[in-house]
Structure 1
């Protein structure tokens, strides 16, 4: 378990939608929030900034979607870039965590709750962000968003 105390916001980066969850490390739990639309991975930053003002997080967490073999993908790099941008814009420490299979698990949770299989309309992005954040609460790693992915993951170096 990491040593962060206070509210934390987690993000499931996507090119058309960014999932968001808020949680507390003391309980290790998070709740999904409404996702924010993005255009080619770029959100309406005023919505993100309003979220930060409302929740006053002490840290941000962005899931890094590695390939199943642990290698770095283009989406991994884009998610890290988003993490660094949000850290700079909002002046809140931002951390990374491997989020492989979070969307698949979020879809299973949604379906088990009676949700539709139309995931464009029935967004699971918030659930994925919740899973990412809760996974980070259980982790003992604090990986700064500034950390080069190539330094973290030995596979997929270019």
Structure 2
């Protein structure tokens, strides 16, 4: 399925969304509930070759009843697309070419900074922050998308 927008996203009843925060070395994952109201941090995968990463995601998608992906799109502060945003778009295109799932790219500016600030406020150690920041950022991105979906359905 092609890359779509939140406005055009359609899921079967009781399907979940999987949120991805793509980093250079890791992929943070978060999972929605079946009512599409709450995003929960799930895990952090070490990045490898695309085919290996996609196979790991396929297993998670099948096991969790995922009906669509929300991928963080790290735009620059001025809205332009830098190298990270281009990498996220390439990942989305490559995954869309091999999967029937709808994929939505969501602006994730400052998501990692917001999560890091929250973890600092919670007095999390540097090691703890490093261990959870990617999956927490994925949950932050996914929760924003879920909130937007709820707003769109309310109209």
Match of 1:104 in 2: 113
Cα shift at 1:41: 7.3
Given that 1:9 and 1:20 are in contact with CA atoms closer than 8 Å, whether structure 2 keeps it comes out as yes
What are the ranges of 5 or more consecutive residues in structure 2 without an aligned counterpart? 1-5, 150-155
What is aligned with 1:50? Answer: 59
- Return the structure number with greater helix share: 2
**Does the aligned pair in 1 maintain the 2:116–2:129 contact within 8 Å?**
no
- Aligned Cα RMSD in Å? 2.4
TM-score (norm 1): 0.77
Q: Say how many residue pairs are matched.
A: 140
Q: Give me the whole-angstrom Cα distance separating, in 2, the residues matched to 1:15 and 1:132.
A: 17
Correspondence 1:21 to 2:33: no
Q: Which runs of 5+ in 1 are unaligned?
A: 141-158
**Bigger RCO of structures 1 and 2 (CA < 8 A, at least 6 apart):** 2
TM-score by length of 2: 0.78
Distance 1:41 1:30, change over 3 A: same
In structure 2, the partner of 1:94 is 103
Q: Cα deviation per residue 1:43-90 (whole Å; 9 max; x = unaligned)? A: 533211111111121111101000011111111010011112222333
Q: Secondary structure, in 3 states, of the residue corresponding to 2:75?
A: coil
